[in-house]
Amino acid sequence: MNKKVLTITEQLALPILEKEGLELVEIEFKKEGSNWFLRLFIDKEGGVDIDDCGRVSEQLSKRLDEVNPIPQAYFLEVSSPGAERPLRKPKDFERAIDHYVHISLYEPISGAKEWEGYLRKYEDDSITVEVEQEMLTFPMTKVAKARLAILF
């Protein structure tokens, strides 16, 4: 059910986002407490503002009402992915080169499953992260999650 909702929502959202000059970062459909939430995270060069989110929300809400792919009541939220945006697509990784990132692995490498450092290189099959002046290369098949991180 959730996968179907995500697929249909993406199909409905992409033409709207393209028209608005925006990019889809992620879609979530999940239950929190007794409420369901359909969340779209969008972005563009220079970041999105509340007007961007409002326009997308209004247009997508109308399309979702027409198609009606979700039987239960839910809340639609459209927002920015934030400062710690996830890295999923090749272009996400390419844009993140020389940025500080957080990497979670499926299994430990060199004794750790989580690493933070500067993304120095991205290839389809691996990423190279500079951690405390040491270059570490992780196969993409071992990367569970990756996101931008804030360095304190």
Q: What is the CA radius of gyration of the chain?
A: 18
CATH number at 106 reads 2.30.30.180
Residue with tokens 């196969």: 139
Q: Is residue 61 domain-shared with residue 123, that is, in the same domain?
A: no
**How would you class 9 by CB atoms within 10 Å of its CB: exposed for 0-12, middle for 13-18, buried for 19 or more?**
buried
Does the reported pTM lie above 0.95?
no
Burial 115-138 (b: 16+ CB within 10 A, else e): bebbbeebeeeebbbeeeeeebeb
- Return the DSSP state at 117: E
Q: Structural domain tally of the chain?
A: 2
pLDDT for 67-125, tens place per residue? Answer: 999 999 999 999 998 889 899 889 899 999 999 999 999 999 889 999 999 999 999 89
Which residue segment(s) compose the domain that 49 sits in? 2-79
Q: Is residue 69 domain-shared with residue 10, that is, in the same domain?
A: yes
pLDDT for 16-27, tens place per residue? Answer: 999 999 999 999
Q: Is residue 96 domain-shared with residue 133, that is, in the same domain?
A: yes
Q: Is residue 65 domain-shared with residue 98, that is, in the same domain?
A: no
